[in-house]
Amino acid sequence: MIKTRANKILIVLMVALMHQKLISQSKIWTLEECIELAIEKNISIKQGQLNYEDALIDKNTAKANFLPTINFNANHSWNIGLNQNITTGLFENMTTQFSSGNLSLGVDIYRGKQNFVQLYRSNLALLARQYQIEDIMDDTKLLVANAYLQIMFNKEIVNVQKTQLDLVKTQLERTTNLVEAGILIENDRIDLIAEVASQEQNLVLSNNNLRLSKINLAQLLLITDYENFDILTEDLDVPFSQIMEEGPKKIFEKALSFRNDVKLAIANVEIAEADIKLAKGNLLPSLVGFYSFSTRLSYADRIRGSGEFQEIPIGFVRSSGEVVNTNREILEVIGPLPVFDQLGINDGHNFGIQLNIPIFNGLRNRNNFRQSKINLERSKNLMEQQKLDLETTINQAFNDTKGAYTLYEAAKKTKDARLTSFNNSKDRFDEGIIDSFNYLQIKQSYDTSVSDEIRSKYDYIFKLKVLEFYFGIPISM
C-alpha cells in the first residue's frame, strides 16, 4: 500500500515537471514582456530602489527634527572603602549604595530654519532618487529594444539564407540535368556544388548569430534557459512617423520637459541650493529650551529618635561639686526610607533656555558654506552640460534616423534592381549564354543586397524608436 502511494506521488511529480518544462518551452516573449521583466530584475534598478528607501529614512529623520528630544538616564553605584559608620561615628571599611535618575527634555526654539531646510532637502533627495530609477529604466528599455530587434534581424537573415540555400539547391538540380543533356558543362555543376556548400556555411553562421543574440537578450532578462528562449516573430514593416517632420529643435524642447536625466540634474541643483542654506544656518545663533527632572535613592541606614530620654552628665558645679545632667533622646538605627518616599523627597527640577553663538570653530562652518557655494556652481554646470549632451544626442539621432531611412530606400532600390538582374541571369545561365562564374557573381550581388536591405531596415527602425523615445512615444513594435 505504501509502495503504491509512493509510485502515485512520483508520477504526479513527473507530470508536473513535464508540464512545467512544456510551459517554459512554449513561452514566446513579446517586447513589452521583455521590457517589464528586465525592469523587474535589473540589478541597477534594485540598487536605485534601495537608495530610494535610504532617502525615505532621511526624510523621516528630517521630520523627526521638529520633535523634542527626550532622554532618560539612571545609575547605581557602590562605594567600597573607608566610610563613616553613622551608628558609631567611627570610620570603617564598608560598602554603601546609591541610585539616581534623570529625565531631560530639549526643544529647538531657533536654529536658523535648518529643520525646515533639511526637510525640504530630504524631499528633493527623494525626488532625485526617483528620477534616477526612472532614468535607469529608460536606458534599460532602449537596451532591451535593441537586443530584441537584433534577434528579429537575425531571424530574417536566417530565413533569407534558407531561401537562398533552397534556391541554389534547386538550381543545382536543374544544372545537373542540363549537364547530362549536354547543354552545360561539368564545371558549371561543380561551381554550384561549391555555392551550395558556401550557402550552408552562411546558414550555420546566421543560426549562430541568432543564438548569440537570443543569449544576449536572455542575459539582460536574467533568464538562464537560453535554448528554450524565443521572442514573438513579427512581420515588421518600415514604419512611417510624423516625428521626422517635427525637427530636432522641437524634439529637444519636448525632451527637456519629461526626460528623467534632465529632471535629475535640476533636482541636484536645488539640493545644492538647500545645502547652502543649511551651511549658512550653522553660522547663525541657535536657541534651545531645556527641562530636566532628577531624583536619587540611598540604601544606607538612618538614625532617628526613639522617643525615650536619659540623663547624661555634662559637667559639675565647681563651688559645690554638684553634677549637672541633661536629658538626651536615645537614638536608634533604622533602615532607609521607602523608595517612593525618597523619590518625592529627593527630586529636583531644572529648566531654562540656552543660547549658542558660533564665534570661532576653526573656520569649519565658514569653509562648509564656501564649499556649498562651489558645489552649487558645479551642479549648475553639470545641469547645463546635461542639456547640451541631450541636444547633441537628439541632433545626432535625428540625422542618423534621416540617413538610415535614405540608406534603406537606396538598399531597397538596389535589391529590386539586382533581383531583376538575378532572374534574368538564371534564364541566360540555363540557356548557356553565361557561365556559372558570371551567374554566381550576379547571385552573390543579389544576396548581398538582400542582407543590406534587411540590415538597413532594422537600423532605421531602431534609430527611429530612439528618436520617438526622446519625443515621449513609448517603445513598441
Residue with grid cell 525646515, as numbered in its chain:
116
What's the one-letter identity of residue 394? I
pLDDT score recorded for residue 270:
95
pLDDT score recorded for residue 144:
94
437 compared with 417, residue with greater pLDDT: 417
Is pLDDT of 15 > 50? no
Query: In 3-state terms, the chain is what percent helix, strand and coil (to 5)?
Result: 65, 20, 20
- With beta carbons less than 8 A apart as the criterion, state whether 379 and 268 touch: yes
Spatial distance between the Cα atoms of 189 and 167, rounded to a whole number of angstroms: 14
The model's confidence at residue 303, banded by pLDDT at 50, 70 and 90, is confident
Is pLDDT of 274 > 80? yes
- With beta carbons less than 8 A apart as the criterion, state whether 367 and 280 touch: no
Please name which of 401, 448, 402 lies closest in space to residue 421, comparing C-alpha atoms: 448
- With beta carbons less than 8 A apart as the criterion, state whether 324 and 332 touch: no
pLDDT score recorded for residue 98:
81
* Distant-in-sequence, close-in-space partners of 183: CB < 8 Å, separation ≥ 6: 430, 431, 432
- With beta carbons less than 8 A apart as the criterion, state whether 255 and 246 touch: no
Give the distance, in angstroms, between the CA of residue 175 and the centroid of all CA atoms in the same chain.
63
For the ranges 17-21, 84-88, 213-217, 354-358, the lowest mean pLDDT is seen at: 17-21
- All structural domains of the chain with their residue ranges: 22-67+118-149+210-284+372-477, 72-110+287-301+336-357, 302-335
pLDDT tens for 82-122 read 777 665 666 777 777 888 889 999 998 888 788 999 999 99
CATH fold of the domain at 22-67+118-149+210-284+372-477? Outer membrane efflux proteins (OEP) (1.20.1600)
